[in-house]
Amino acid sequence: MGKFIPGAVLLTAWAGSTLAQPPIPPASVVRFNTLCATCHEGECSARLSFRLDPGATDSHIRRYTGDIPQQAARELNALLEHMKLDCGYYAIDLPSPKDGRWKAELLQQLHAAEERAYFIPLGNLAAGRHRFTLTFEHEAVVSVQLVSARFDIAEQSGLRTREGKAAAVLVADKPGDYYLRLRTEQPARLLALDMEPLR
Ligand code: HEC
Protein backbone atom coordinates (compact mmCIF):
# COMPACT_ATOMS: atom_id res chain seq x y z
CA MET A 1 0.00 0.00 0.00
CA GLY A 2 2.81 2.37 0.95
CA LYS A 3 4.31 2.08 -2.51
CA PHE A 4 1.54 4.19 -4.08
CA ILE A 5 2.31 7.21 -1.97
CA PRO A 6 5.39 8.56 -3.83
CA GLY A 7 3.38 8.67 -7.06
CA ALA A 8 0.64 10.63 -5.39
CA VAL A 9 3.12 13.08 -3.92
CA LEU A 10 4.80 13.55 -7.29
CA LEU A 11 1.49 14.19 -9.01
CA THR A 12 0.53 16.80 -6.45
CA ALA A 13 3.86 18.58 -6.78
CA TRP A 14 3.55 18.60 -10.56
CA ALA A 15 -0.02 19.91 -10.49
CA GLY A 16 1.05 22.59 -8.05
CA SER A 17 3.88 23.87 -10.21
CA THR A 18 2.18 23.96 -13.59
CA LEU A 19 -1.59 23.55 -13.67
CA ALA A 20 -2.21 25.99 -10.85
CA GLN A 21 -0.42 28.89 -12.56
CA PRO A 22 -2.85 31.38 -14.04
CA PRO A 23 -1.83 32.83 -17.41
CA ILE A 24 0.24 36.00 -17.18
CA PRO A 25 -1.91 39.01 -18.13
CA PRO A 26 -1.18 40.83 -21.42
CA ALA A 27 -0.17 44.04 -19.60
CA SER A 28 2.86 42.31 -18.02
CA VAL A 29 3.77 40.52 -21.24
CA VAL A 30 3.68 43.76 -23.21
CA ARG A 31 5.81 45.51 -20.60
CA PHE A 32 8.35 42.71 -20.56
CA ASN A 33 8.56 42.67 -24.35
CA THR A 34 9.04 46.43 -24.59
CA LEU A 35 11.24 47.04 -21.51
CA CYS A 36 13.04 43.94 -20.25
CA ALA A 37 13.49 42.65 -23.80
CA THR A 38 15.83 45.54 -24.61
CA CYS A 39 18.42 43.56 -22.63
CA HIS A 40 16.95 40.07 -22.23
CA GLU A 41 15.56 39.42 -25.71
CA GLY A 42 16.63 36.13 -27.20
CA GLU A 43 18.30 34.85 -24.03
CA CYS A 44 17.78 31.17 -24.67
CA SER A 45 20.16 29.52 -22.24
CA ALA A 46 17.37 27.07 -21.24
CA ARG A 47 18.21 27.78 -17.60
CA LEU A 48 18.36 30.64 -15.15
CA SER A 49 21.81 31.62 -14.08
CA PHE A 50 20.71 32.29 -10.48
CA ARG A 51 23.44 34.82 -10.15
CA LEU A 52 20.94 37.08 -8.41
CA ASP A 53 19.16 36.00 -5.24
CA PRO A 54 15.39 36.67 -5.02
CA GLY A 55 15.85 40.00 -3.23
CA ALA A 56 18.40 41.19 -5.76
CA THR A 57 16.18 40.09 -8.65
CA ASP A 58 13.35 42.11 -7.18
CA SER A 59 15.41 45.26 -6.89
CA HIS A 60 16.89 44.67 -10.36
CA ILE A 61 13.36 44.55 -11.82
CA ARG A 62 12.16 47.60 -9.86
CA ARG A 63 15.17 49.56 -11.01
CA TYR A 64 13.61 49.54 -14.48
CA THR A 65 9.90 49.48 -13.67
CA GLY A 66 9.82 51.78 -10.68
CA ASP A 67 7.67 50.75 -7.72
CA ILE A 68 5.26 48.02 -8.86
CA PRO A 69 3.10 45.51 -6.94
CA GLN A 70 4.78 42.27 -5.86
CA GLN A 71 2.52 40.29 -8.16
CA ALA A 72 3.58 42.32 -11.21
CA ALA A 73 7.25 41.84 -10.33
CA ARG A 74 6.67 38.09 -10.05
CA GLU A 75 5.02 38.03 -13.45
CA LEU A 76 7.94 39.85 -15.05
CA ASN A 77 10.35 37.45 -13.39
CA ALA A 78 8.33 34.47 -14.68
CA LEU A 79 8.47 35.98 -18.17
CA LEU A 80 12.26 35.98 -18.10
CA GLU A 81 12.13 32.31 -17.11
CA HIS A 82 9.81 31.69 -20.01
CA MET A 83 12.15 33.52 -22.40
CA LYS A 84 15.10 31.48 -21.21
CA LEU A 85 13.38 28.09 -21.09
CA ASP A 86 11.12 28.30 -24.16
CA CYS A 87 13.25 30.65 -26.25
CA GLY A 88 10.29 32.66 -27.46
CA TYR A 89 7.69 35.28 -26.58
CA TYR A 90 4.97 34.38 -24.11
CA ALA A 91 1.59 34.00 -25.86
CA ILE A 92 -0.60 37.09 -25.49
CA ASP A 93 -4.08 36.05 -24.57
CA LEU A 94 -6.01 38.41 -26.89
CA PRO A 95 -7.70 37.78 -30.24
CA SER A 96 -5.90 39.07 -33.36
CA PRO A 97 -8.06 40.58 -36.10
CA LYS A 98 -8.44 38.37 -39.18
CA ASP A 99 -8.57 41.29 -41.62
CA GLY A 100 -5.25 42.93 -40.69
CA ARG A 101 -6.95 45.92 -39.05
CA TRP A 102 -6.35 46.61 -35.39
CA LYS A 103 -8.61 49.09 -33.63
CA ALA A 104 -8.02 51.37 -30.67
CA GLU A 105 -9.68 49.15 -28.02
CA LEU A 106 -7.44 46.19 -28.82
CA LEU A 107 -4.31 48.35 -29.27
CA GLN A 108 -4.96 49.88 -25.86
CA GLN A 109 -4.42 46.44 -24.31
CA LEU A 110 -1.13 46.02 -26.18
CA HIS A 111 0.24 49.32 -24.89
CA ALA A 112 2.90 49.78 -22.21
CA ALA A 113 2.25 53.43 -21.43
CA GLU A 114 5.30 53.71 -19.13
CA GLU A 115 7.52 52.64 -22.03
CA ARG A 116 5.65 54.68 -24.68
CA ALA A 117 5.55 51.38 -26.55
CA TYR A 118 3.25 48.84 -28.15
CA PHE A 119 3.82 45.13 -28.72
CA ILE A 120 1.41 43.66 -31.23
CA PRO A 121 1.27 39.97 -32.19
CA LEU A 122 0.68 39.90 -35.97
CA GLY A 123 0.17 36.15 -36.37
CA ASN A 124 1.58 34.24 -39.31
CA LEU A 125 3.04 36.30 -42.17
CA ALA A 126 4.18 35.25 -45.62
CA ALA A 127 7.78 36.09 -46.54
CA GLY A 128 8.17 39.44 -48.28
CA ARG A 129 7.38 43.12 -47.83
CA HIS A 130 4.52 44.27 -45.65
CA ARG A 131 3.14 47.74 -45.17
CA PHE A 132 2.11 48.87 -41.69
CA THR A 133 -0.01 52.01 -41.60
CA LEU A 134 -0.26 53.64 -38.19
CA THR A 135 -2.87 56.18 -37.17
CA PHE A 136 -2.17 58.17 -34.01
CA GLU A 137 -4.45 60.56 -32.18
CA HIS A 138 -1.91 63.39 -32.59
CA GLU A 139 1.38 63.87 -34.45
CA ALA A 140 4.10 61.49 -33.28
CA VAL A 141 7.65 60.36 -34.01
CA VAL A 142 7.76 56.59 -33.93
CA SER A 143 10.21 53.72 -34.36
CA VAL A 144 8.76 50.54 -35.83
CA GLN A 145 10.25 47.08 -35.51
CA LEU A 146 9.07 43.90 -37.21
CA VAL A 147 10.30 41.08 -34.96
CA SER A 148 10.25 37.38 -35.83
CA ALA A 149 9.49 34.65 -33.32
CA ARG A 150 13.24 33.93 -33.43
CA PHE A 151 14.06 37.57 -32.56
CA ASP A 152 15.23 38.78 -36.00
CA ILE A 153 14.46 42.49 -36.18
CA ALA A 154 13.76 44.72 -39.19
CA GLU A 155 13.47 48.35 -38.14
CA GLN A 156 12.45 51.75 -39.41
CA SER A 157 13.16 54.48 -36.89
CA GLY A 158 12.30 58.15 -36.57
CA LEU A 159 9.12 58.02 -38.68
CA ARG A 160 7.13 61.23 -38.48
CA THR A 161 3.36 61.21 -38.83
CA ARG A 162 1.46 63.57 -41.12
CA GLU A 163 -2.04 64.27 -39.96
CA GLY A 164 -1.53 61.47 -37.45
CA LYS A 165 -0.55 58.85 -40.03
CA ALA A 166 2.73 57.13 -40.87
CA ALA A 167 3.54 54.02 -42.89
CA ALA A 168 6.46 51.63 -42.58
CA VAL A 169 7.38 48.98 -45.15
CA LEU A 170 9.31 46.10 -43.59
CA VAL A 171 10.46 42.73 -44.87
CA ALA A 172 9.69 39.37 -43.31
CA ASP A 173 12.65 37.18 -44.31
CA LYS A 174 10.83 33.90 -43.82
CA PRO A 175 7.21 32.90 -43.36
CA GLY A 176 6.26 32.56 -39.69
CA ASP A 177 4.92 34.33 -36.63
CA TYR A 178 5.79 38.00 -36.31
CA TYR A 179 5.30 40.89 -33.89
CA LEU A 180 5.27 44.64 -34.33
CA ARG A 181 7.00 46.71 -31.66
CA LEU A 182 6.50 50.47 -31.69
CA ARG A 183 8.08 53.14 -29.57
CA THR A 184 7.18 56.81 -29.69
CA GLU A 185 9.32 59.74 -28.61
CA GLN A 186 6.47 61.30 -26.66
CA PRO A 187 3.40 59.63 -25.10
CA ALA A 188 1.05 58.87 -28.01
CA ARG A 189 -2.20 57.01 -28.47
CA LEU A 190 -2.42 54.61 -31.39
CA LEU A 191 -5.92 54.54 -32.88
CA ALA A 192 -5.41 52.04 -35.71
CA LEU A 193 -2.91 49.68 -37.33
CA ASP A 194 -3.52 48.40 -40.85
CA MET A 195 -1.29 45.66 -42.22
CA GLU A 196 -1.09 44.61 -45.85
CA PRO A 197 1.30 42.39 -47.80
CA LEU A 198 2.97 44.05 -50.82
CA ARG A 199 3.78 42.38 -54.12
C1 HEC B 1 19.78 47.47 -19.19
C2 HEC B 1 19.69 46.04 -19.33
C3 HEC B 1 18.66 45.29 -18.52
C4 HEC B 1 17.32 45.56 -18.41
C5 HEC B 1 16.51 46.69 -19.04
C6 HEC B 1 16.77 44.50 -17.60
N7 HEC B 1 17.75 43.63 -17.24
FE8 HEC B 1 17.50 41.93 -16.12
N9 HEC B 1 19.48 41.60 -16.14
C10 HEC B 1 20.41 42.34 -16.86
C11 HEC B 1 21.73 41.77 -16.63
C12 HEC B 1 23.02 42.28 -17.25
C13 HEC B 1 21.54 40.67 -15.76
C14 HEC B 1 22.61 39.74 -15.20
C15 HEC B 1 22.95 40.25 -13.85
C16 HEC B 1 23.96 39.42 -13.21
O17 HEC B 1 23.72 38.22 -13.16
O18 HEC B 1 24.96 39.97 -12.79
C19 HEC B 1 20.13 40.59 -15.47
C20 HEC B 1 19.55 39.63 -14.65
C21 HEC B 1 18.19 39.45 -14.49
C22 HEC B 1 17.57 38.38 -13.74
C23 HEC B 1 18.30 37.25 -13.03
C24 HEC B 1 18.33 36.17 -14.09
C25 HEC B 1 19.18 35.03 -13.84
O26 HEC B 1 19.20 34.18 -14.75
O27 HEC B 1 19.84 34.98 -12.81
C28 HEC B 1 16.23 38.54 -13.84
C29 HEC B 1 15.13 37.65 -13.25
C30 HEC B 1 16.01 39.72 -14.65
N31 HEC B 1 17.21 40.25 -15.03
C32 HEC B 1 14.77 40.19 -14.97
C33 HEC B 1 14.56 41.40 -15.63
C34 HEC B 1 13.24 41.95 -15.87
C35 HEC B 1 11.93 41.27 -15.48
C36 HEC B 1 13.42 43.13 -16.50
C37 HEC B 1 12.37 44.14 -16.90
C38 HEC B 1 11.66 44.77 -15.84
C39 HEC B 1 14.87 43.33 -16.66
N40 HEC B 1 15.51 42.26 -16.12
C41 HEC B 1 15.43 44.41 -17.27
C42 HEC B 1 20.15 43.43 -17.65
C43 HEC B 1 18.92 44.06 -17.78
Same domain, 108 and 177: yes
Same domain, 107 and 81: no
Helix (H, G, I), strand (E, B) or coil at 114: helix
Question: Does residue 140 sit within a domain?
Answer: yes
**Domain boundary residue among 60, 86, 112?**
86
Tell how far the Cα of 9 is from the centroid of ligand 1, in angstroms.
Answer: 34
* pTM summary value: 0.89
Report whether residue 151 contacts ligand 1, using a CB cutoff of 6 Å. Answer: no
**Spatial CA neighbour of 156 closest among 134, 138, 137, 139:** 134
Tell how far the Cα of 105 is from the centroid of ligand 1, in angstroms.
Answer: 31
Same domain, 80 and 108: no
Same domain, 77 and 145: no
- Burial of residue 62, with CB atoms counted within 10 A of its CB: 0-12 exposed, 13-18 middle, 19 or more buried: middle
Same domain, 115 and 138: yes
What are the residue ranges of helices labelled H in 41-125?
Answer: 54-65, 70-86, 104-108
Which of 28, 31, 32, 39 gets mutated to test ligand 1 (max ligand atoms within 8 A of its CB)? 39
Residue 119, strand partner residues: 181
Question: Does residue 1 sit within a domain?
Answer: no
Farthest CA pair distance, the chain = 76
Region of poorest pLDDT, from 55-59, 101-105, 151-155, 195-199: 55-59
Segments forming the whole domain that contains residue 183? 101-197
**Domain boundary residue among 63, 86, 109?**
86
Report whether residue 135 contacts ligand 1, using a CB cutoff of 6 Å. Answer: no
For the segment 68-91, what is each residue's pLDDT rounded down to a tens digit?
Answer: 999 999 999 999 999 999 999 999
Same domain, 191 and 108: yes
Report the CATH number that the domain containing residue 135 is assigned in CATH.
2.60.120.380
pLDDT at 34: 98
pLDDT at 91: 96
Contact, 149 vs 176, CB < 8 A?
yes
Tell how far the Cα of 80 is from the centroid of ligand 1, in angstroms.
Answer: 8
Confidence of residue 46 (pLDDT cuts 50, 70, 90): confident
Measure the CA–CA gap between 76 and 50, rounded to whole angstroms: 16
Tell how far the Cα of 181 is from the centroid of ligand 1, in angstroms.
Answer: 20
Same domain, 72 and 156: no
Question: Does residue 9 sit within a domain?
Answer: no
Question: Does residue 96 sit within a domain?
Answer: no
Say how many domains are in the chain: 2
**Domain boundary residue among 86, 119, 142?**
86
Same domain, 77 and 155: no
Q: What is the mean pLDDT of residues 51-60?
A: 82
Region of poorest pLDDT, from 11-25, 115-129, 149-163: 11-25
Question: Does residue 163 sit within a domain?
Answer: yes
Same domain, 187 and 107: yes
For the segment 153-195, what is each residue's pLDDT rounded down to a tens digit?
Answer: 999 999 999 999 999 999 999 999 999 999 999 999 999 999 9
